[in-house]
Amino acid sequence: MTERTLASVHAGDGFHWVGDGFYVTQLLPGTPQLQQAADPFLLMDYNPVREYPPTTRQRGVGPHPHRGFETVTLAFEGAVAHHDSTGGGGVIYPGDAQWMTAARGILHKEFHEQEWAAKGGRFHMLQLWVNLPGKDKMSEPGYQALTAESMGTVKLPGGGTVILYAGELDGERGPARTHTPIELWDVHLGVDETAELAVPDGHTIMVFVLDGQVSTDGGTIGRERLGLFERSGDVLRLTAPEAGARVIVLGGEPIGEPVIFYGPFAMNTQAEIVQAIEDFNAGTFGQLA
């Protein structure tokens, strides 16, 4: 067993609004070096705890397209309603997640859920873009509603709990169906508790700290910071030395293909980006009011 070593720690790029309902800091893609090292993760937007007043109007992001990847939204507090051009949709509440596969093209919209917005309250979410390999970028789009009750749960021998959205740990599996091997875990640690997590050697491993801080081989990752680990090693060891911690572990098998970004599209070549724009303008992504 070889312990993973922390390679670098990254902060977000400041805060900005996405639509009028999501106040986020962006931690990925970051620098070109981080973008390459984070493969298969393309983007990470984090909406920290924010209090929203009651409202009767829609707050969020209206219809917009995606192609070439998947969006994954984790709900910690608040509620988000999602609808897309395949007919997929629903509401995610605390502990839930939505896993939308844009693939060859989809339109979707995301708003604060109407009843929750009418009451207002604390809102806390995280969204990831997960790349698709070239062979799957033009596959059929889809949507997975992952409820809190469906998540895998692992009680750690050293104390702490791991909630599994995707991937396997200690014989338990998360409910998400993924195109490439992905580990997406929510780790809760008490004071002085240590998690020793088996991770696949060679996979990208990153740790984002929601609360507290964690120490590991090579350093410490503070609150709202993203730690990137070396790719060699099959054990991730995290310790919460002070008041406990909550972290999101992001892992995955690197795809190792070129990534060309253009707004909401992520493809392998510039020609594929041009085709995505042409297809969107031609209405092939479907309709969504």
**Does 124 show up as a binding residue in the annotation?**
no
β-strand pairing of 161-166 with 106-112? unpaired
CA 200 – CA 204 distance, rounded (Å): 9
Structure tokens at 155: 């009680």
Burial 129-150 (b: 16+ CB within 10 A, else e): bbbbeeebbbeebbbbbbeeee
**Does 66 show up as a binding residue in the annotation?**
yes
Beta bridge partners of 43: 129
Let me know: does 134 contact 40? Beta carbons within 8 Å.
no
Omega within 30 of 0 (cis) for the link into 258: no
CA 122 – CA 76 distance, rounded (Å): 10
**Does 203 show up as a binding residue in the annotation?**
no
Q: What is the DSSP string of 86-119?
A: TS-EEEE-TT-EEEEE-TT-EEEEEEE-HHHHHH
CA 201 to chain centre: 21
Closest to 97 (Cα-Cα) out of 114, 72, 115:
72
**DSSP structure class, residue 268:** S
| Sequence-distant (≥ 6) Cβ neighbours of residue 282 within 8 angstroms | none
Q: What angle do CA 242, 236, 144 make, to 5 degrees?
A: 100
CA 125 – CA 23 distance, rounded (Å): 10
Specify binding-site residues for Fe cation: 64, 66, 108, 110
Residues at the binding site are: 64, 66, 108, 110
